[in-house]
Amino acid sequence: MQKITSPLRILIALILVILEGNAFAAADTSNNMVFVKGSCFDMGDVMDDVPPGGRLIDERPVHKVCLDDFYLDRHEATNAEFELFRPGYKKSRETLSYGRKVSPGDASPVVNVNWEDALNYCKAAGKRLPTEAEWEYAAREGG
């Protein structure tokens, strides 16, 4: 599995928590999971809107990636859910953007989680983090 490093990718990865095995996932589709039909797609900066040497240089070159079918959680991991895993974690609730809290409530999506905590949260839930290709494919609604 490729390590997801940027804060945005960690948030998206946590949002797109997926189950470890298809046999288990197929039996658990009533548990807020959605099926994503695998396919091939062009991964990377397909809009070519990042200047050469720009911040997202790792989005190039665009390359073809093929994925198997997989399952994703239907909703983001919430502050309340993450705090059950990591009691006392309040960094998400205290995060400010333009002077406003971005994720203050129990039902708000958890933010500012490092990769290791996201990985361990997923494992504790019997799930796994998606690969970078899986979350990009899902975020694009299938390519």
User: What is the tens place of the pLDDT at every residue in 17-73?
Assistant: 544 433 333 334 456 788 999 999 988 876 666 666 655 666 667 889 999 999 888
User: What is residue 33's predicted lDDT score, i.e. its pLDDT?
Assistant: 81
In this prediction the pTM is: 0.65
- Residues 105-133 pLDDT 10s: 899 999 888 999 999 999 998 888 888 89
The strand pair at 70-73 and 96-97 is best described as unpaired
pLDDT over 60 at 86, yes or no: yes
CA distance 21 to 137: 19
Question: Do the Cβ atoms of 123 and 20 come closer than 8 Å?
Answer: no
Task: For 8-90, list the strands marked E by DSSP.
Answer: 18-19, 33-36, 40-43, 63-66, 70-73
